[in-house]
Every structure is written in C-alpha cells, then in structure tokens.
A and B are shown apart, each in its own frame.
Chain A
C-alpha cells in the first residue's frame, strides 16, 4: 500500500464521515486501519446488528500506527497489524489479551492460521486478510519462462531499465536472499556483502524503487515490478498482459490481523466485531472488497466467483508455500540498514 493511494482514500473517508447520517447508536467502535481495507457493507451490517457506530481512521504505514499507539494517542478499539508488527505489539505488551481462540466463531478459522508465529495460541489476534509479495511481469515484453527471480536479477535486455522494486528494504533484501539461496533474517556480513553486490549490479537496470506499483506497470514504464497479489489483480484489470508470478525460489507471505490495543474504551464492542468478522459470510466481504484472501473456512461460498478463480487469489498447486518472516534480530536489522544506505548512495 502506498502513501499516495492512502491519502486519496483518507480524503474519501473523511468525505463519507462528514456526509454520514448522525443517528445515535448505543455504542461506538473506533477502528484504525489501512485505507480501502474495511468493507462498507461489513460496517453497515455490524452497525445494524449490534447498534454500534463504527468510526474508521486510516494510517499510511505500520510504523505510523505503532508510533501513534506508543505515543499514547489511543482512542482506538481495533487495530489491523501485520504479522511482524503483531509480534512486536505482543512482546511490548501493547495489545489486550482477548482470548480470540475461545470466541464462538473461532471454529471457522482455517487450521493454517491458528498456530502462527506472531500469536501462537491466538490469544490476542484474529485473521483479517492475507496475501503475498512477489512480482508482476508484462507478458507482452517478457519472453519465455518467467517463474523465477532471475527475471528481476538477471534480466533479459528487453527488461533492463524497466524494473520497479518496492521501496522497502526488507522486501527487496528478502527477495535477493532467496535468489542467492541464503537464510532470511541474515546477520552474516559475508552473506550480506553478496546481497549488496547483487543489488548494486541490479540497480543499473532498475528504473525506480516505488511502492506505487500499479501505475508504472499499466502505463508501460515498467515491464516487471515487485507487487502484492491483490494490487497485482487490480493492475491486471487495467492491462490483461500483466501476470502475477509466484517465483520457484519462494516468496513472502503476510497476514493482517485484528487486535485490540491496550486502553481501548469499547472492548466488548471490539470483541463482538472480531467474532463477527470470523463468520464466513462476513469474512467474504473483506475478500470481495479488499481483494485479499481471508483466513476463514467456508467463506469461498460467499466470494465473487471471478475473484475466487483468480490466480492472484488462488495460487496454482505447484508453487512453493508463502514464507512468513518474523521480525529479525537487531543485528540483522542494523546490517540491512547499512546495505540499503550503501545501495541508495
């Protein structure tokens, strides 16, 4: 997600907030999430069923959200942290223990998302949506086999100068580590030197490091771009020759979760919302709106058939499983920062 798209949605969200009818409900629920991420029909349904007014604020990055919570600027009842951030929030005692595993609708949660590294017992968080970070190729430009990271790191002539990488040091370095077959969360300086050499060579052929990935692909500025699966689908809608690639070397998976920050005022409403979202017909609304998979069994029946069949949503059987990467050690974060600074010099 990018600052650009998000500020646009923030304005839209503000507009809707101002125009929204001001009927008074019994309770309130304050949600702090990404923009274009909370389905309006889901909000309406919950408001009607529970007589609760939902208020949504949006953030432009995980760091913004964590910084705001840390500064004590609370007032939020629901936050939507990614897997690594969730691990941090639990370690730093910044979220309420709400025993999600004991909620009635937890039975619908896919087994795959029950014992997760960031919340092994699901005491603090429920699944919201998950996806992957890999890359998109324009099949009009890229010839031959493209299910490999070599498309990015050893590009054909037609692709040189037309590569966009995400402006995210972790995503880029993880991709390079996979290509070199080196361990993730790497704190070995020798390994990281190889990563730097690879990225510096590649930089000659990189057009931009930009997290807005759809526009360059659609306009033809980029022939290959790192991307998230859901965003790749939106790009394909506008340009059918774009294909989301699951590289054989592997790719990163991520999950956004619902959690309740410490000091929330409306904990009961927040719990009700979390339980509500774990019902298959409600979780499906997330997928239909945000175009990312949810973690709820049986929700497929309520998902738009086109969406359910999309390759971005359901990877072919022969691709590797997404790799979920925990927060790395301070040593490797430090090394990554140095590598990135050198790369950007």
Chain B
C-alpha cells in the first residue's frame, strides 16, 4: 500500500458518495425501522405511538376479541419459502455459472468481449418485460408447450407456468449474470501456469481443481452467491407473474401491507427483519472469508 493521500482532499472527494449513502440509504432505513415500532393508522400511514405489535405479529396471532396470543407459522413459512427459493436459485446459478464463466475466461481476448456482451445484453431490457416474456414462453399456450405437443413428445401441456418451478426458473434467469460476472473476474485473474505446475507435480484433475482452482474461484463464488441470494430473497415480480400470485414470498407480503392491508408498521417490520437477516448473512460470510484469508466483494 502507498501512503494515504492528504486526508483533507480524501474527505472532500469522498463527501459526494457519503452524502448519497446518507440520503438514500441511512435515512430511508432509519425511517423504515422507526415506522416498524409505531401503530398503524386506520387508512395507511402511522400513528406516532410506540408499539411492538408489528414484531409480535410476525410470530403470534392475536385473537381480535380476547387479545390472547397463539403461535402462528404463517409468516415464518413465507420467510422460509423465500430463503429456499433464493437458495435453490443461487445453487443453480453456481452450477450454470462456473462452466460458463470458465468458458468465457479461457477464450482469446477478442472473443471474451463478445461473450460477455452476450451475457449482459438481455439485461438491458427491463426486468418486468423479461418476466412477462418468460411467462408467455412457458405457459400452456406458449411456444415450448406447443412445440412439445406438435412433435408428439407430450400429450397435453406440461405445467411449466404458474407454479414454484416457474418462480425458481425466473429467479435463476433474472440473476444469472450477477453470478457469471464475479466468477469471470476471479477466473480471469487465474494464472494457468499454476495448473500446469500442479500437473507437473503429479496432481490429478480433481486434486488440481480442489487445490488450485477452487481457492482462486472462492471470492467469485462468495460474491456471486451474495449477489444472487440477497436480491433473490426479496424478489416479488417472479412470484407475482410467473407464480401467478398463488404463493407469496417476502417481497409480496411486504407489498400487501402497504396496499390492500394498509398496515405500514407491519410492512416496515418485515422489511427490517429481512434487512437484518441479510446483514447477518453478509457479516457471517465476510468473517469466514477473513478467516480463510480471501476477500469478499
């Protein structure tokens, strides 16, 4: 490391970034957290009185007449479903992402740009448009099912849309580049003579992969997994559109609290819990990475 530059100048150069973080991150999160501890106003909005009700509600159902509490798993199940869907999507992205990134990183330089562009081009289109397009492709009257029936592989339409399968597929498709790009960045830096050295020292392919390639891939795997998993948990377009709105993920539940159900504090509490879970996951992976000596992000 070089000596740090003049601190006055550094502070000045940092100030726009700090200001943006303060205005667009700290303040909104502060308001969300604050609202989660207030009482809901009848028609949306909040009443400025302290109430932990939103957090109690997450785990307990309050009888509306005698006020007794009973344990309820309704909201927990929605959280679990979101974690599961995001987890499976992350795993699938890894399985598809590693070979893809490896392939791109091992092309000649001029081809790399082309392949990387092919990965990113679809993402110039708005996510909503792409999600609806996926529904049109997957549904019963869509081209996939029509073709399968035309060539006689299936008698009726396969249930490809309006279910959890479609939601999972939507998540994988939405977030795949966020996996491929960090993996590519990690593999790109890889010095392939190390692999030759491993073979020279009589490592077989598996040993070379585990001992040489994997440690170098790790930062890319961690970064990519976080970039897929975290937005995956909060996704709401895929369950709404590809899932046909039949099962909720956390994002949908939060949306409902600010719309039909008009319970802003509960919506804020759900957001706060989701954010806390995400931060815990981040710190955990950062600490693990620190221990193993690798860098995250």
Interface residues of A (CB under 8 A from B): 4, 7, 61, 63, 66-67, 70, 88, 91-92, 167-170, 187, 189, 203, 206-210, 219-221, 327, 330-331, 333-338, 340-342, 344-345
Contacts and interface: CB of A to CB of B under 8 A. Distances in A.
Given A63-B44, A170-B260, A333-B262, A207 B128 contact: no
Contact of A66 (B44, B61, B128, B261): B44
Given A66-B43, A221-B140, A341 B260 contact: no
Which 5 residue pairs of A and B lie closest in terms of their CB atoms, listed nearest first?
Answer: A208-B244, A209-B245, A337-B261, A344-B248, A88-B43
Contacts of A66: 43-44
B263 interface: yes
Contact of B43 (A92, A167, A338): A92
A337 B128 contact: no
A220 B142 CA distance: 11
A210 B135 CA distance: 12
A174 to B, nearest CB: 12
B132 interface: yes
Interface SS majority for chain B: loop
Interface in B65-104: 65, 74-75, 77-78
Interface residues of B, number: 34
B45 interface: yes
Contacts of B241: 210
A337 B132 CA distance: 27
16 contacts: A4-B132, A63-B260, A67-B44, A167-B240, A168-B260, A169-B260, A169-B261, A210-B244, A333-B262, A335-B64, A336-B261, A337-B257, A340-B256, A341-B75, A344-B78, A344-B252
Interface centre among B132, B245, B247, B258 (most CB of A within 10 A): B245
Given A189-B64, A207-B162, A345-B248, 11 more contacts: A4-B128, A206-B244, A208-B244, A208-B245, A209-B246, A331-B64, A333-B262, A340-B256, A340-B261, A341-B256, A345-B247
Contacts, number: 87
Contacts of A7: 128
Main secondary structure of the interface of A (DSSP, over half): helix
B135 to A, nearest CB: 9
A279 B244 CA distance: 42
Identify which of A221, A331, A335 gathers the most chain B CB atoms within 10 Å of its CB.
Answer: A221
B74 A345 contact: yes
B42 interface: yes
Nearest to A171: B260
B252 A330 contact: no
A241 to B, nearest CB: 15
A333 to B, nearest CB: 7
B221 interface: no
B253 A341 contact: yes
Contacts of A206: 244, 246
Contacts of B44: 63, 66-67, 70
B261 A220 contact: no
A340 B246 CA distance: 10
Interface of B: 42-45, 61, 64-65, 74-75, 77-78, 128, 132, 139-141, 162, 240-241, 244-248, 252-253, 256-263
A162 B256 CA distance: 25
Contacts of B240: 167
Contact of A208 (B64, B246, B257): B246
A280 to B, nearest CB: 34
Contacts of B42: 330
Contacts of B263: 334, 337
A189 to B, nearest CB: 7
Contacts of B141: 219-221
Given A66-B44, A70-B44, A221-B139, A344 B247 contact: yes
A333 B261 contact: yes
B130 to A, nearest CB: 13
Nearest to A64: B259
Contacts of B43: 66, 88, 91-92, 327
Nearest to B75: A341
A63 B257 CA distance: 11
A209 B163 CA distance: 12
A335 B246 CA distance: 19
A340 B128 CA distance: 24
Given A4-B132, A209-B244, A341-B74, A70 B45 contact: yes
A276 B258 CA distance: 35
B78 A341 contact: yes
A63 B261 CA distance: 10
Nearest to A63: B259
A161 B262 CA distance: 31
A203 B252 CA distance: 18
A334 B74 CA distance: 14
Nearest to A168: B260
B70 to A, nearest CB: 12
Nearest to B258: A63
Contacts of B65: 189
Nearest to B64: A331
Contact of A342 (B74, B139, B261): B74
A118 to B, nearest CB: 13
Contacts of A336: 260-261
A331 B256 CA distance: 17
A340 B247 CA distance: 10
B78 A67 contact: no
A203 B261 contact: no
A168 B162 CA distance: 17
B207 to A, nearest CB: 47
B100 to A, nearest CB: 31
